[in-house]
Amino acid sequence: MLILSFRDDEEHIINHILSYINRETEILHQGDVLNGQLYFEGLYIDEQKRIVVRENNEIELTYTEFEILLLLAQNIGKVFSKQQIYDSVWKEPYFGNHNIVMSHIRNLREKIEDDPSKPMYIQTVWGVGYRFNKNLSSGL
């Protein structure tokens, strides 16, 4: 592992890298438990085949939309900030552009929700971020 840093802010950079590594490890372990397949009320996600099915219709998602949905669905009920979503999905530092994450969430909701203005799956936690509805049970 190679770590490049600046003299003034080394501790912040190292903490950011370590938290990113820990978050990725946690997500991978949860994915193993779920065996790559998630079932919710009316929604099926297959991580290995990269398939999303809503009410027996396969939904076409972009790579980024699928990664966001998978991140949230594998961590049901856990709230992710826009920065955490960006760091995990784009795998690069977040520079404060909230619109890119919000835009992908909006597009994702348009594709998987019956009523995107009243989402059942991806919920907004005002002032914090987004989470997958903790009241939906996953068929494990």
pTM above 0.85, yes or no: no
| Structure confidence at residue 137 as a pLDDT band (50, 70, 90) | low
Q: Are 81 and 128 in contact (CB under 8 A)?
A: yes
**Residue 72: count of CB within 10 angstroms of its CB:** 24
Architecture in CATH of 33-132: Orthogonal Bundle (1.10)
What integer pLDDT is reported at residue 92 of this predicted model?
84
Whether 35 shows a pLDDT value over 80: the answer reads no
In the numeric block, the tokens 């900030």 are attached to 81
Give CA–CA dist 51/48, Å, rounded. 8
pLDDT in tens, 89-109: 998 887 777 789 999 999 999
Structure token digits, residue 97:
């552009």
User: By C-alpha distance, which of 32, 125, 29, 6 is closest to 77?
Assistant: 125
Whether 52 shows a pLDDT value over 80: the answer reads yes
Q: Are 138 and 76 in contact (CB under 8 A)?
A: yes
pLDDT in tens, 108-121: 999 999 999 999 99
What integer pLDDT is reported at residue 33 of this predicted model?
37
Q: Are 32 and 18 in contact (CB under 8 A)?
A: no
Task: Give CA 57 to chain center in angstroms.
Answer: 22
Whether 81 shows a pLDDT value over 90: the answer reads yes
Q: Side chain identity at 115, as an amino acid letter? A: D
